[in-house]
Amino acid sequence: MPLIGYARVSTEDQTPLPQVQALTMAGCAKIHEEQASGGDRARPVLARVLEQIRKGDTLVVVRIDRLARSLSHLLEVIERLEARGAFFRSIEDPIDTASPQGKFTLQVLGAAAEFERALIRERTKAGLASARSAGRVGGNPGLRARDPAALRKVRLARHEGYMDRLSGTAQDWVPLVRRLRPDMAWEDVLRLVNAPLPPSRQWTQARLLRATRAYVRDGFLPETVLERAKHQPGDDRLPALVAAIRGADPDITLQAICDRLEAMRERTPRGRTTWQPSSVRMVLGRAVRLGML
């Protein structure tokens, strides 16, 4: 079970050396270092680690505050690791999702996060009710007056919040969109994105397009991904799909590709709903001959 370390420091004045030493002593053969503040959503090193982590790997940190901005963010990261068959361990906290005790701790944290959200909702409702009873009108005066500067601030805050939420899911869709568009139609890209995801995290085409446009607008994806899809001969579509699956995970087995294609409801070349490794091998061979792999 490979142990992958992640060390983060906030400023140039800090050194990751103590974290690196602790991770090395914990048995981490590979350690990724990043400099970013705790509230910074742009963590390219962490995003790359989550994108590359394999089934059976364990992501290790010294403390949970080195990984997550908040409890909800921590639970979100762990959920993504579990979706890939990976585990999480914090050296100085009682969290190890590979152990029953660690899973129990995680459940307690999840309950605490939900309780915290419920308290915030209740306090907000009580505060609004108290303000109304005192004759005070809630809201931003600038917004009520339709002040352009206030409206710009709201739009910017909404965009920042949206991009922050997108950064938590980027590893699910950005690599595929970057690699497959515009050579592949959005319908097929969407199916490839959704195939390994649990139902609660699956995308709609409209949501995927909106996210892509936002990333293009902010310079995280090239404008070419939004171009019209290139025409693809009918015989080349299936090899392109299988090549995309293999390209996203070079170590994936033939049986795992079968499972992925069945989850996508993709039929075999003979029109059957059940895939066999031999059929996948044949399609992969065609993809190689077409220069897709």
Catalytic residue ranges: 10
d(CA 8, CA 186): 36
90: left (phi over 0), alpha (psi -120 to 50) or beta: beta
d(CA 263, CA 217): 32
Q: Enumerate residues 6+ apart whose C-beta is below 8 A from 75.
A: 106, 109, 110, 113
d(CA 283, CA 262): 15
167 φ/ψ angles, rounded to the nearest 5 degrees:
-60, -25
What is Dmax (Cα atoms) for the chain?
75
CB atoms within 10 A of CB 155: 10
Burial 236-261 (b: 16+ CB within 10 A, else e): eebbbbbbbbbbbbeebebebbbebb
